[in-house]
A and B are shown apart, each in its own frame.
Chain A
Amino acid sequence: MELCAQKRPPEDERRVKANARDYNEKFQYASNCIKTSKYNIVTFLPVNLFEQFQEVANTYFLFLLILQLIPQISSLSWFTTIVPLVLVLTITAVKDATDDYFRHKSDNQVNNRQSQVLINGTLQQEQWMNVRVGDIIKLENNQFVAADLLLLSSSEPHGLCYIETAELDGETNMKVRQAIPVTSELADTSRLAQFDGEVICETPNNKLDKFSGTLYWKENKYLLSNQNMLLRGCVLRNTEWCFGLVIFAGPDTKLMQNSGRTKFKRTSIDRLMNTLVLWIFGFLVCMGVILAFGNAIWEYKVGARFQMYLPWDTAVDSAAFSGFLSFWSYIIILNTVVPISLYVSVEVIRLGHSYFINWDKKMYCAKRRTPAEARTTTLNEELGQVEYIFSDKTGTLTQNIMVFSKCSVHGRSYGDVQDMLGHKAELGERPEPVDFSFNPLADPRFRFWDAGLLAAVQLGNPHVHEFFRLLSLCHTVMSEEKNEGELYYKAQSPDEGALVTAARNFGFVFRARTPKTITVHELGHAITYQLLAILDFNNVRKRMSVIVRNPEGKIRLYCKGADTILLERLHPANLELASITTDHLNEYAGEGLRTLVLAYKDLEEGYYGDWAERLRRASLAPDAREDRLARLYDEVEHDMMLLGATAIEDKLQQGVPETIAILTLANIKIWVLTGDKPETAVNIGYSCKMLTDDMTEVFVVTGHTVLEVREELRKAREKMMDGSRSMGNGFSCQEKLCSSKLPSVLEAIAGEYALVINGHSLAHALEADMELEFLETACACKAVICCRVTPLQKAQVVELVKKYKKAVTLAIGDGANDVSMIKTAHIGVGISGLEGIQAVLAADYSFSQFKFLQRLLLVHGRWSYLRMCKFLCYFFYKNFAFTMVHFWFGFFCGFSAQTVYDQYFITLYNIVYTSLPVLAMGVFDQDVPEQRSMEYPKLYEPGQLNLLFNKREFFICIAQGIYTSVLMFFIPYGVFADATRGDGAQLADYQSFAVTVATSLVIVVSVQIGLDTGFWTAINHFFIWGSLAVYFAILFAMHSNGLFQMFPNQFRFVGNAQNTLAQPIVWLTIALTTVVCIMPVVAFRFLKLDLKPELSDTVRYTQLVRKKQKTQHRCMRRVGRGGGGGPRGPRRSGYAFSHQEGFGELIMSGKNMRLSSLALSSFATRSSTSWIETLRKKKGGDSSNASSPSGGADKTLKV
């Protein structure tokens, strides 16, 4: 393990020679061993202690400890400070040690992974940590890449290999990497062992998408780019094996270079706490100064004359010096106002809350077997203060699963689930799905509920047939058939996958393709179409087409694309059909479905020949090739015949609309930041009810220049202002009432608006001179959707809100592209979904469903905040009540820094007598039960407004503490001044006084915690009664004869407890003190409950009433996924299609066709298939367990 820690000289460039360990050794490159742990057994103690003493609080107490060792000023024994300090240090050290242990474990696990390294011409199993720069290693399918490799060769043709980069950048689609041609032939170990090329390349850096280097081999130079690199963290997919040359290893890899130390997040309460501690410290110094002056004056006036009985210390020569010493003495005894146990207690409480989150069964996803996890334990209370949520879309709001939901074929809509009365059936009461058993090739996972469509297929409806034929032909999906009939589709976009799968189940099975043909099983008959051209998709065209020749020789163009585009390109004969289909499209769009329109066109042989010739020429044209192609495409995709439309449901995560509705009610603003297209994002906005058709207006900002964007934003604001003015006329009196409350004019607007902004516009909007304008506009809108944003912009948006709004932000996402925003926001939440674990690793909280966010914030966050606030209030109160007694006593003991209490009481007060009850409250307290906080989202607001603990509340607590301390001192003072005991002896001796005050203090703070506790568990009872019991037990033990006889100088209070506490007058004093301390609190709370109840009080009260009256539960089902009527206003397109350009070309070139699939299509006979099978099995045997059946959706990603 020590290998990891070596220091290396900085590099200018990296030179790596293959198969030459000796040569590479001299550069001292980092080995492939990684180390994320901080300590080992030897260094743990010193390093950890050093780190802990960097905390101001700990240093402060160390300083106090040193002060206490100076006899002239030591007003307390050293152990009063060292016991809590050691306790605090130990708890922290144990926590650090545990954390580090797990880091060691995971390091070891990663370092000990096996990989095959080519050493001396043979492949040997080596641990990852022993892999060196310059080694050639072999990777097999589904293995993790061990280091940053230069791809040399692979099992696939042309040295291609496929990788999944989910863990690196979060993108789940596979990426292609290709070896440079010269090395792609080095496919066996003997030739690879001869390879002695030298790579000279860039130094280690964190740019994931760039690599520049040169390979020198056999006196030739070959340029290397990122296209040739396999980075650590990727997984090899769909590739039997590949060889790579290690370029960067261990800490130098791009993955490790990217995992910089995460910035430590602090909560606003943390910051407030630090400020308050500083203030308290200032207060402490003030008290010290006052008392020091008091001491100087006293010594001058009284002490100097009292020297006959009490001479000054030898070192003290003047009253002033005595005052100076007394300052330090008072700093020591008053140090308990700056509570050392505060930080530790806060940590313990947060840890408890984190465990509540981890253990919450209602946040456990049974399907994925993932519980919620609080990865950071220090942010819990901030969950109760969130005002802005920034959400990713794909994988967070949606499942990234596309489901073929509805379709419209030749003017008839299919797909509605209907019950007996013809109404749309609600979820849950669905009838049986359509039975596809007639079709042996059907995908068993596909569900469809409208039997009418299948009936139409079986009845031979030619429109329906053509519809599905189009779906089975017009796409760029690749098929794979592992066993006869077991089809796997590898779709480049999930939309296409859904469409092709739908066609497959309805009897139009896309079986195989070659660069020139497509084989489709149409209702059992294999038909091979000749693929003439793919008119590829791009974002401007918003459509794709294929031109095929059917076995009869007819040429037909099939096209699918956006409604806005396609409806304009139809043949005029389609007018009537188009209008019906448009109605259907509107309906689909209203439900938030993604729509595509399908059309076809018959081409004449002659025309096609001519067109094809022009296409060929255009594609060879040296300049403006794209434009020429586009024009040709445009020409042929014209006068098409409408077939129908498809509606794909982008499956939302469970409960997303409900969650968003409730969070909105809780006054949390939700912004969606997505890398997706505007269409898709808007679509999701509608389907999860962030956008509704009832909205007054949805502003779409798409400007390309600064001026355009500024103008668009200005217009949007003007419209909102106009809207509010026109609305205001009607309700002018109401408006006036409201407007005084609302902070900004823009936030007072009536009507609901939404803002959709594009990435390139956002770039301008985020510039320094416009960001405020943008923010103001955005905050005035109910919903904000930013599309096509880069990861960096996501972070910038979050940063912007953080900077100007002083609000707590939460970012939630699941992919690596969300990492930056997750790290930037106050709270980052990772969805442990399909897109790798990068987001989860960067996040503070993780769970598997967006809907759990509701519970995390409204229940856990709210409670955490409440508990933390109550805890802090009480904590400051109890420490002030405890400490300030010394201050008052100072005036009666010559400002000599004499403590009121026994030193053991001072030692144990904070860590034993009063720690556990307040911890129990901080961990378990709740004001209203969890169902209510979901039912009344408004209960969340106090947290956002920071009402429960702020400077004002702090001063109230402090005032209460000081009030208590005054009574705590002066009531016993009044009683004791003249009192005598029942047996005639004097009562007012110091020790009895100490015991009386201490006992009343413990009782008063216990009663107070009882009043503060809103939710009693057995643990609360146990801790409160237990603390009192422990107090008395320890008191009697400390004052017992036995201890005194062993250490007479340490336990001077012998016999005091039994003598003092046997006196009725002492108990009368304690009772009086308790009543006087508590009475005002009770009265005040009672008044507040009656006159100005908080919402939570009201809810609690109604709860009580409701329990009594047993009235029925008020159900809050405002939200649901109702279909709703058609949209008002202008028609909205439901088009969305997540597709990328370029795959058409790839298919036509045949580059990505594997041998097996090529073979499959050319030898479609049964015998040849079995031959292929044996071939595959052989291969499967070679690659042992590494190959698992991996379909498009299959994820056998094991970390």
Chain B
Amino acid sequence: MHQRSARIRGHLAVILSVMLKYTREWCLCMQLIDYTGIEPTSPCNKCLNVSWNSTPSCTCTINFTLDHPFESNVFMYYGLSNFYQNHRRYVKSRDDSQLNGDNSSLLNPSKECEPYRMSEDKPIAPCGAIANSMFNDTLVLYRIDNETRVPIHLNKKGIAWWTDKNVKFRNPSGDANNLTALFQGTTKPVNWPKPVYMLDSDPDNNGFINEDFIVWMRTAALPTFRKLYRLIERKNNLQPTLEAGQYSLDITYNYPVHSFDGRKRMILSTISWMGGKNPFLGIAYITVGSICFFLGVVLLIIHHKFGNRNTSADIPN
């Protein structure tokens, strides 16, 4: 019985893995650009040692080519590596009550936020190490069309989970149009150039419900991670979202990672019903499927050769 189930499982796994692999190869494209600037030749090398409050900001531009057109919606990510968003002290250094718009927590943040709880005797909003270390590079994408740089529209809304945006994160209660007043009595996180109520001009994307902020606050499980930065929506069905060709990426380089050997990347990717390109799962399924199949066959042979010994004659008494 076991053996039959093992074999069935084997077959299933093979079919599934082939299917996965097939879908992947067909329509998933991905472009990955490291813009940390470690290599001296990199245009961003000059910005390698920026600090948080360097003014004016260091900017650099990286040109790249897309070999294939990106047919469907394209997702733009920033990726960091060697960045320990999963460190225990980092993970706990936040006050969800404050982020949920609780007024008392706003002015008296949780102790978990230490040492980013108070600054100059004023409560920090949003408090904690996570918020304090928010990613603040600005990435702008241009398509180089006959030597001219055509800016590509990057949608900055719709990148966070619905529950995060609508349930978990809320601005302090009060007049939503006057965030400055709502955040009265608090101060900005130490590393930030500007307070939380000035993250965006759109009141629906400002303060605690700024989606870039929300995305950052959803801490990563592993030290190498990527986070959704912008959406590039497909305009019509005739043209691919991003045609093959020359592109250039303008970076406002504010976020220092060199000191701890971190890396920064920009990723462009399309996705399927299963998410982005993920070779691991496909390979794993193929491997496991084959092993199961093989094992099933071997067990079957063994069973036919030796299984018949199970007779009552064996029972000693």
- Chain A positions within 8 Å of B, measured between CB atoms, are 71, 75, 302, 305-306, 308-311, 313-314, 329, 665, 892-894, 896-898, 936-938, 971, 973-982, 984-994, 1041, 1044-1045, 1048-1049, 1052, 1054-1056, 1058-1059, 1063-1065, 1068-1069, 1072, 1075-1076, 1079, 1082-1083, 1085-1087, 1089-1091, 1093, 1095, 1097-1099, 1101-1102, 1105-1106, 1114, 1116
14 A-B contact pairs sorted by A residue (CB < 8 Å): A71-B111, A310-B133, A311-B115, A893-B84, A893-B88, A896-B88, A937-B317, A979-B276, A1049-B96, A1079-B288, A1083-B2, A1086-B2, A1090-B307, A1097-B310
Decide if B221 touches A988 in the complex (CB within 8 Å).
yes
Taken together as a complex, chains A and B put the C-alpha atoms of A988 and B83 apart, in Å, by 14
Which A residue's beta carbon lies closest to that of B77? A986
Decide if A979 touches B2 in the complex (CB within 8 Å).
no
Contact of A1065 among B85, B222, B278 (CB under 8 A): B278
Residues of chain A with a CB closer than 8 A to B9's CB: 1075, 1079
Which B residue's beta carbon lies closest to that of A308? B259
Nearest chain A CB to B85's CB is how many angstroms away? 7
Taken together as a complex, chains A and B put the C-alpha atoms of A120 and B83 apart, in Å, by 95
Decide if A1065 touches B275 in the complex (CB within 8 Å).
yes
Decide if A310 touches B167 in the complex (CB within 8 Å).
no
Taken together as a complex, chains A and B put the C-alpha atoms of A875 and B23 apart, in Å, by 41
Decide if A979 touches B223 in the complex (CB within 8 Å).
no
Decide if A1041 touches B288 in the complex (CB within 8 Å).
no
Residues of chain A with a CB closer than 8 A to B88's CB: 75, 329, 893, 896-898
B192 within 8 A of partner (CB): no
Q: Which of B110, B162, B309, B315 is the most central at the interface, judged by chain A CB atoms within 10 Å of its CB?
A: B315
Decide if B260 touches A306 in the complex (CB within 8 Å).
yes
Decide if A1087 touches B299 in the complex (CB within 8 Å).
yes
Contact of A979 among B86, B278, B299 (CB under 8 A): B278
B238 within 8 A of partner (CB): no
Decide if A1085 touches B2 in the complex (CB within 8 Å).
yes
Known: A893-B223, A1098-B314. A1055 touches B133 (CB 8 A): no
Known: A986-B228, A993-B221, A1102-B311. A893 touches B302 (CB 8 A): no
Decide if B315 touches A310 in the complex (CB within 8 Å).
no
Decide if A892 touches B225 in the complex (CB within 8 Å).
no
Contact of A990 among B91, B132, B310 (CB under 8 A): B91
Known: A936-B317, A1055-B161. A892 touches B223 (CB 8 A): yes
Decide if A982 touches B133 in the complex (CB within 8 Å).
no
Residues of chain B with a CB closer than 8 A to A1055's CB: 161-164, 167-168
Taken together as a complex, chains A and B put the C-alpha atoms of A451 and B307 apart, in Å, by 61
Decide if A1069 touches B220 in the complex (CB within 8 Å).
no
Contact of A306 among B84, B86, B220, B272 (CB under 8 A): B84
Decide if B96 touches A990 in the complex (CB within 8 Å).
no
Taken together as a complex, chains A and B put the C-alpha atoms of A1106 and B91 apart, in Å, by 62
Q: Which of A974, A994, A1097, A1116 is the most central at the interface, judged by chain B CB atoms within 10 Å of its CB?
A: A974
B95 within 8 A of partner (CB): yes
Q: Which of A309, A977, A1055, A1069 is the most central at the interface, judged by chain B CB atoms within 10 Å of its CB?
A: A309
Per-position 1/0 for B25-60, Cβ under 8 A of A: 000000000000000000000000000000000000
Contact of B273 among A974, A977, A1064, A1095 (CB under 8 A): A1064
- Which residues 63-99 of B sit at the A interface, judged by CB distance below 8 A? 73, 75, 77, 82-91, 93, 95-97, 99
Decide if A973 touches B222 in the complex (CB within 8 Å).
yes
B227 within 8 A of partner (CB): yes
Decide if B222 touches A976 in the complex (CB within 8 Å).
yes
Residues of chain B with a CB closer than 8 A to A992's CB: 221
Q: What 6 pairs across the A-B complex have the smallest Cβ distances?
A: A1055-B163, A993-B221, A980-B276, A896-B88, A309-B133, A898-B88
- Which residues 231-287 of B sit at the A interface, judged by CB distance below 8 A? 231, 256, 259-261, 269, 271-281, 284-285
Taken together as a complex, chains A and B put the C-alpha atoms of A976 and B310 apart, in Å, by 46
Taken together as a complex, chains A and B put the C-alpha atoms of A1052 and B167 apart, in Å, by 11
Decide if B220 touches A989 in the complex (CB within 8 Å).
yes
Residues of chain B with a CB closer than 8 A to A302's CB: 82, 84, 260-261
Taken together as a complex, chains A and B put the C-alpha atoms of A896 and B168 apart, in Å, by 26
Decide if A892 touches B86 in the complex (CB within 8 Å).
yes
B186 within 8 A of partner (CB): no
Decide if B161 touches A985 in the complex (CB within 8 Å).
yes
B295 within 8 A of partner (CB): yes
Residues of chain A with a CB closer than 8 A to B303's CB: 1086, 1090
Residues of chain A with a CB closer than 8 A to B77's CB: 980, 986
Taken together as a complex, chains A and B put the C-alpha atoms of A1068 and B226 apart, in Å, by 21
B205 within 8 A of partner (CB): no
Q: Which of B89, B159, B281, B306 is the most central at the interface, judged by chain A CB atoms within 10 Å of its CB?
A: B89
Known: A984-B231, A1065-B274, A1086-B2. A977 touches B73 (CB 8 A): no
Residues of chain B with a CB closer than 8 A to A1059's CB: 161, 163
Q: Which of B5, B93, B280, B288 is the most central at the interface, judged by chain A CB atoms within 10 Å of its CB?
A: B280
Decide if B284 touches A896 in the complex (CB within 8 Å).
no
Nearest chain A CB to B221's CB is how many angstroms away? 4
Known: A897-B88, A976-B222. A987 touches B275 (CB 8 A): yes
Decide if B164 touches A1083 in the complex (CB within 8 Å).
no
Taken together as a complex, chains A and B put the C-alpha atoms of A251 and B309 apart, in Å, by 66
Residues of chain B with a CB closer than 8 A to A976's CB: 221-222
Taken together as a complex, chains A and B put the C-alpha atoms of A1090 and B168 apart, in Å, by 56
Nearest chain A CB to B210's CB is how many angstroms away? 15
Which A residue's beta carbon lies closest to that of B51? A308
Q: Please count how many residues in chain B sit with their CB below 8 Å of the partner chain's CB atoms.
A: 92
Residues of chain A with a CB closer than 8 A to B95's CB: 1049
B312 within 8 A of partner (CB): yes
Taken together as a complex, chains A and B put the C-alpha atoms of A967 and B162 apart, in Å, by 31
Decide if A310 touches B281 in the complex (CB within 8 Å).
no
Taken together as a complex, chains A and B put the C-alpha atoms of A302 and B83 apart, in Å, by 10
Taken together as a complex, chains A and B put the C-alpha atoms of A1063 and B274 apart, in Å, by 7
Taken together as a complex, chains A and B put the C-alpha atoms of A350 and B189 apart, in Å, by 58
Residues of chain A with a CB closer than 8 A to B89's CB: 310, 313, 896
Decide if B224 touches A310 in the complex (CB within 8 Å).
no
Decide if A986 touches B115 in the complex (CB within 8 Å).
no
Which A residue's beta carbon lies closest to that of B20? A1068
Decide if B284 touches A1072 in the complex (CB within 8 Å).
yes
Decide if A896 touches B276 in the complex (CB within 8 Å).
no
Decide if B220 touches A894 in the complex (CB within 8 Å).
no
Which A residue's beta carbon lies closest to that of B305? A1090
Nearest chain A CB to B130's CB is how many angstroms away? 9
Decide if A986 touches B220 in the complex (CB within 8 Å).
yes
Taken together as a complex, chains A and B put the C-alpha atoms of A1052 and B100 apart, in Å, by 11
Decide if A978 touches B280 in the complex (CB within 8 Å).
yes
Taken together as a complex, chains A and B put the C-alpha atoms of A937 and B315 apart, in Å, by 11
Decide if A980 touches B281 in the complex (CB within 8 Å).
no
B196 within 8 A of partner (CB): no
Nearest chain A CB to B86's CB is how many angstroms away? 4
Decide if B315 touches A988 in the complex (CB within 8 Å).
no
Contact of B129 among A71, A309, A314, A1058 (CB under 8 A): A309
Residues of chain A with a CB closer than 8 A to B261's CB: 302, 305
Which B residue's beta carbon lies closest to that of A896? B88
Per-position 1/0 for B193-231, Cβ under 8 A of A: 000000000000000000000010011111111111001
B107 within 8 A of partner (CB): no
Residues of chain A with a CB closer than 8 A to B288's CB: 1072, 1075-1076, 1079
Which A residue's beta carbon lies closest to that of B302? A1090
Decide if A1069 touches B102 in the complex (CB within 8 Å).
no
Known: A75-B88, A978-B278, A986-B226. A1091 touches B306 (CB 8 A): yes
Which B residue's beta carbon lies closest to that of A311? B115
Decide if B222 touches A988 in the complex (CB within 8 Å).
yes
Contact of B302 among A71, A894, A1079, A1091 (CB under 8 A): A1091
Decide if B87 touches A980 in the complex (CB within 8 Å).
no
Which B residue's beta carbon lies closest to that of A973? B222
Q: Which of B6, B73, B111 is the most central at the interface, judged by chain A CB atoms within 10 Å of its CB?
A: B6
Taken together as a complex, chains A and B put the C-alpha atoms of A615 and B259 apart, in Å, by 120
Nearest chain A CB to B285's CB is how many angstroms away? 7
Taken together as a complex, chains A and B put the C-alpha atoms of A981 and B271 apart, in Å, by 8
Decide if B227 touches A986 in the complex (CB within 8 Å).
yes
Contact of B284 among A893, A974, A988 (CB under 8 A): A974
